[in-house]
Structure 1
Amino acid sequence: MKSHFDVLIIGAGLSGIGMACHMKRESPGRRVAILERRQAIGGTWDLFRYPGIRSDSDMVTYGYSFRPWNQHKTLADGPAIRQYIEDAAREHGVDRLIRFGTMIEGANWSSEHRCWTISAHDVASGEKLSFTCKQLVSCTGYYNHDQGYLPTFPGEENFAGLRIHPQHWPENLDYRNKRIVVIGSGATAVTLIPAMAETAQHITMLQRSPSYVMSVPGYDIAAAVLSRILPLSWVYSMARWRNLRLQQLIFKAARRWPVKVRSWLLNHVEKQVGKDVDMRHFTPKYNPWDERLCAVPDGDLFRVLREGKASVVTDKIKTFTEKGILLESGKLLEADIIITATGLVLQSLGGMNVSVDGTKVEPGKLLTYKGVLLENVPNFAYLFGYTNAPWTVKIEMSANYLCRLWEHMENLGKDVVIPRAPVGQKLEESVLSSIHAGYVTRRQEILPRQGRSLPWRVVNNLKSDRNMFLNDPVGDASLELTGPSKAKVESINRRAA
């Protein structure tokens, strides 16, 4: 079975659906398909099912600009986000373009035929599948959906209770009146703890080192009030503008005045945790935004700590025991359930093997052009969003740029685009080198490289990116655009006839 498309999108998550919706709006004449190995829309938001899962960006900016999030709850839960993505896909007719249960084995570009061939199989039946396309767009994010990061713990085989990684949450887990230890202090841990604390006997966050935790309003009161007197579209636009500016302000301030921002964040926490919680548990050794800030709505984490339903321990693990975890300090944390919220495993291109004329493409050795196209790889886009702002904002600008680029190529009679970087442009750092989180430092060698200057440098700056994607010329001397030869056109026409 073989099918040909103008554009193939890999992944039906937030990025893939957003890309397809933009194409429906801006390039409606192109034949498009989305290949998704799971049986549902949503990507990350369909994969993760642990208690309390929610966005760590406000939904007004995390949602699509073309489909306003008009609810006033600031951080939405996983099921609500999954439903939001499904609704957007259905409203734009994108749901009909998805081929579920399609596992991609590899993609090869043929310079002779000037197209991509994607080898795949049907997950359920094992049937071999093949697709060809002119443009290939990877919307798979940058982590492994099959496995999370799980370090080896001394004596872990001795633990008699249940051990769980949040990426593989068991269905219908009963944790009522259980003693729970969550290993980790990142976004997953600070989400799990208040969600489970209400019914667990007690839950402890065990961290090797603290993270910055920031309370945000759980409900947008200003937007709710304004929506009573103004059109929803106006309220949405104002809230989106406000939130984006505020996020950028905090990030820029953290980079320029790290000591002052650190003091402001810690004072904010100290007011909420109460006098009985040692602030050493919330005082990181690094500066704000060296790693992402953890957001908690209405300080729910701090509330369960004040109420004694949860606690925080900062220590190192000596060994697992039959009853729990023995710490290097000598303290034993007894547990019925241990949750290893130890992070993600980076993966490039969703694990897909990509080659050009049979030669394997190694993203970790290549630059990106405008953070979208991959150096020396024809007709290929790799979409990933912001790390210091809502992911979707950059995905939308990238999608808009690609639609403009393809239209530009069509107007010039060109069908192949290849970014060519100048000599000396490449640096050894990756596109995520500004983030010092463990999941990045462990495997950042697989990510595309960072360039010295635009358009080969990923700057994660909303103002600069908006100009580059939406206002600057579509291409420059670094983009090699070619069209098929007369003989190739005649050959293509003969095959089509």
Structure 2
Amino acid sequence: MASFDVIIIGAGLGGINSAYRLQQQLPHLSYAILETRDKIGGTWDLFRYPGIRSDSDLDTYGFAWKPWNQPSPIGKGAEILNYMKEAAAEQGIDRHIELRRQLRSASWSSEKQRWTLTVDDQSAAEGRRPLLYSARFLLLCTGYFDFHQPLETVIPGLENFQGHVVHPQFWPEDLDYAGKNVVVVGSGATAITLLPALAEKAARVTMLQRSPSYIVEIPSNRSGRDSWLSRFLPSWILHPWRRLISMLWSRYIFLSCQAHPEKARERLIGMLDGKLPPHLPVNPHFTPSYFPYDQRVTLTPDGDFFKCLRSGKGDVKTGVVKQVVTDGILVQTTTKEGDGDNEDLFLGADIIVTATGLKIQIGGGITFEVDGKSVSPSDQLLWRGSMMQGMPNFGLMLGYTSISYTLGLDAAVLIFCRVLKLMERKKATTVIPRVDPGVTLSLRPYDNLTSTYVLRGIHLLPKVADKAPWLPRSSILSDYWAAHFGRIDTCLEMIKGEGPGLQERKKTS
């Protein structure tokens, strides 16, 4: 049985970042990263649809400790994957990664004060017995969506279609869409990315949406001032500066939209003036029914989405799918919001792309036990955004949904490392977040986004409450302050084992 102080599950952004923080702050601890896939990268290795890119700037979406040196702050999928591989290699993290290791179950023993992991070796012959690993701490960095199944969406008659039906999560490498008519069902970031990318080869691409999203044009290259600074400032100064400015700016935009939702709505819709072709009115095609940041605002670098619409190779239809037939989709379109003036339309298609969202899953389908009793992270309260109520020596690394995901991951692992240091000082071997006796908590939603995939999977997300340290995350600035300077000794039960403490145990192993 392979034994480590810490085992990290997942070699995506969260796993690589957690490994870096761990080896920088607690270099005396041994660790391994177990990754199900045959390559590192997580999301950025899985998703390979045309045009895939980040929907946040890499100054904040990237690692705090690894500058993003590309001319554009919006990274393409292949660029981000290479950046992650580079980061892992530079820090020696890649030497700790074991690929094709799928964690099936994790069982905690209070007697042994260790997790025992049952792991399938994906590279082994079928029928081979699973591998066993042992760890004092288990750090889950598997993200928040199901890698094996997309969000199930009922599209009437889809089984009748005789062309290709594809989901962006599992894009076929050999799919030939050149000269074809493509219909992309959806209106989120993926659909808005796909439309201009597919239109480069397809005869025509239509985005079919039930309801619109806010779409904001951003420049793909950095500002002139930033380019000027990059000539004189070293990267160890420039990167933190870029990161800080982007964090502050995104926080300002978010708070402004929350404080003045009507004005924000008018401003974002007003920014569409002159960007749309005459046949596509703002209402109903670009007038969302919700306020900005009730769902995430989508971005289009250099307005490539709008350019595609103006070129005539791309189009948008708003309505409800009545029926999919052998060669296309019958749609009841909306011609004007709220006036009941609808008409039926046929969209001919050779390919239908179902960009209808991700299926939320916490823990990657792993089963957990604590002293023989089944537990689920989704049923537990989240302690300071990083550990789970009642789960010993266990960390859950989740990022933000409204702003750059990686910022949340980093805040969570910084707190986790501080807890381990506190355990060393107290010579504790086990830590368990617990609600103080006599305290009454009222549950709050983990996330306030109203996106379909969030609403359908909200029950699968960890629980948060109305009192610290069980509160939902409030902002990146307060979270980073808490990660570095906030109290971390509340609602934690620390147990001293019969043997040596954390640091001493490592020295004797």
What's the TM-score once normalised by structure 1's chain length? 0.95
Residue 168 of structure 2 is aligned to residue 166 of structure 1 = yes
Contact 1:72 1:223 in 2 (8 A): no
**Counterpart selection for 2:291 from 279, 287, 292:** 287
Question: The residue matched to 1:330 in structure 2 has which SS?
Answer: strand
Counterpart for residue 497 of structure 2? 484
The Cα shift of 1:198 comes to 1.5
1:167 and 1:184 map into 2 onto residues whose CA distance is 13
Task: Give yes or no for the alignment of 1:431 onto 2:446.
Answer: yes
Corresponding residue of 1:71: 70
The answer (yes or no) to whether the contact 1:182–1:205 under 8 Å persists in 2 is yes
Identify which range, 163-172 or 357-366, moves more after superposition: 357-366
Alignment of 1:325-336 (within 5 A): 325-328=329-332, 329-336=343-350
Code of the residue aligned with 1:431 in structure 2: it is Y
1:182 corresponds to = 184
8 Å contact kept, 2:71–2:221:
yes
Aligned match of 1:33: 32
- What code does the residue aligned with 1:465 have? D
Mapping of residues 181-330 of structure 1, within 5 Å: 181-221=183-223, 222-279=225-282, 280-328=284-332, 329-330=343-344
CA contact (8 A) 1:427 1:449 kept: no
Give the one of 421, 426, 434 matched to 1:407. 421
For residue 81 of structure 1, what is the aligned residue in structure 2?
Answer: 80
Aligned-pair identity in percent equals 39
The alpha carbon displacement at 1:268 in A equals: 1.0
Distance 1:312 1:60 in 2: 32
Aligned amino acid, residue 353 of structure 1:
T
1-side partners of 2:420 and 2:131: how far apart? 27
Tell me what 2:19 maps to: 20
Question: Displacement of 1:427 after TM fit?
Answer: 3.5
Q: Secondary structure at the match of 1:22?
A: helix
1:452 corresponds to 2:466: yes
In 2: Cα distance, 1:448 partner to 1:65 partner: 26
Distance 1:51-1:262 versus aligned 2 partners, 3 A rule: same
Q: CA offsets per residue over residues 291-336 of structure 1, 9 Å max, x none?
A: 1111110111011001111000001000001110001232100000
Per-residue CA shift, 1:170-198, capped at 9, x if unaligned? 01321111000000000100011111112
2 CA distance for matches of 1:295 and 1:426?
A: 38
CA contact (8 A) 2:5 2:31 kept: yes
Written as runs of structure 1 = structure 2, the 5 A alignment for 1:84-103 is 84-103=83-102
Conserved 8 A contact 1:292-1:435: yes
| Greater shift in the superposed pair: 414-423 or 98-107 | 414-423
Alignment check: 8 A CA contact 2:60 2:407 kept: yes
**Deviation beyond 3 Å, 4+ runs, structure 1:** 422-430
Question: SS in structure 2 opposite 1:331?
Answer: strand
Distance 2:312 2:439 in 1: 57
Render the CA deviation track for 1:348-392: whole Å, top value 9, x for unaligned. Answer: 111111110111112232111101110011000100011122111
Please name the residue that 1:155 is paired with.
Answer: 157
| Cα displacement (A) at 1:242 | 1.5
Secondary structure of the structure 2 residue equivalent to 1:130: strand
Structure 2 unmatched runs, 5+: 333-342
Partner residue, 1:379: 393
The match for 1:361 among 352, 375, 387 is 375
Contact residue 443 and residue 466 of structure 2 kept, 8 A: no
Q: Which amino acid aligns with 1:325?
A: I
Cα distance in 2, alignment partners of residues 428 and 370 from structure 1? 15
Task: Give the AA of the match of 1:394.
Answer: G
**8 Å contact 2:212–2:288 — kept in the other structure?**
yes
Distance in 2 of aligned mates of 1:39 and 1:153:
33
1:238-272 per-residue CA deviation (whole Å, 9 max, x = no partner) reads 22222111100111111111001111111112332
Tell me, in whole angstroms, the C-alpha distance in 2 between the residues paired with 1:425 and 1:367.
Answer: 13
Partners of 2:428 and 2:497 within 8 A in 1: yes
Q: 1:13 Cα deviation (Å)? A: 0.3
| Separation of aligned partners in 1, 2:104 and 2:174 | 33
Tell me how far 1:72 sits from its aligned partner. 2.3
Q: Give the letter for the 1:287 counterpart.
A: F
The one-letter code of the counterpart of 1:120 is V
Q: Secondary structure at the match of 2:272?
A: helix
Q: Distance in 1 between matches of 2:168 and 2:26?
A: 39
Give yes or no for contact 1:74–1:217 (8 Å, CA) kept in 2.
no
The Cα shift of 1:39 comes to 0.5
Of 362, 368, 371, the residue aligned with 1:348 is 362
**Closer/same/farther in 2, CA of residues 484 and 226 from structure 1, 3 Å limit:** same
Give the unaligned 5+ runs of structure 1: none
**Structure 2 letter corresponding to 1:253:** S
Q: Shift in Å at residue 428 of structure 1?
A: 4.0
